[in-house]
Amino acid sequence: QVHLQESGGGLARPGESLRLSCVASGEFFSVYSLGWHRQGPGKQRELVAFISSEGFTTYADSVKGRFAISRDNTKNTLHLQMNNLKSEDTAVYYCTRGTSNGPRYSPDYWGQGTQVTVFS
């Protein structure tokens, strides 16, 4: 079984930044794509960003230019740097592992989630 554990969520005001982290178990961490999903209150779950095993990144239009996804295969970690936060970024953020083919990403394992709240 694969275990994903998120951290770094919290409360922020509009314009501030937060950095989410995810640590993953797994012997072959580097061969998988990794992503961040989120689900806001009363909203459907959506893909925020993902990074392929080769390091190529894809972002949702709503976070382009503000968020940055990265990975450290040596440490089995995934990160999401969130800058210029907006109230609409409020959601539970999930770390995911899966496979990708170009712009298509299919998660197969999910973390527990970490809450991000943005309000003034």
Could you identify the residue written with the tokens 């809450």?
Answer: 115
CA gap 80, 40 in Å, rounded: 17
Could you identify the residue written with the tokens 């959601």?
Answer: 91
Token output for 22: 């995810």
Could you identify the residue written with the tokens 């210029």?
Answer: 84
Tell me the CB-side half-sphere exposure of residue 46, using CA atoms within 13 A. Answer: 15
What single-letter DSSP state applies at residue 84? S
What single-letter DSSP state applies at residue 53? T
- Given a contact cutoff of 8 angstroms between Cβ atoms, the answer to whether 2 and 107 are in contact is no
Token output for 36: 């961040």
The pLDDT value recorded for residue 26 is 75
The pLDDT value recorded for residue 120 is 85
Amino acid at position 3, single letter: H
What pLDDT tens digit does each residue of the chain (120 aa) get? 789 999 999 999 999 999 999 999 877 788 999 999 999 999 999 999 999 999 999 999 999 999 999 999 999 999 999 999 999 999 999 999 999 999 999 999 999 999 999 998
The pLDDT value recorded for residue 29 is 85
What single-letter DSSP state applies at residue 89? G
68 forms bridges with which residues in the sheet? Answer: 81
CA gap 8, 40 in Å, rounded: 17
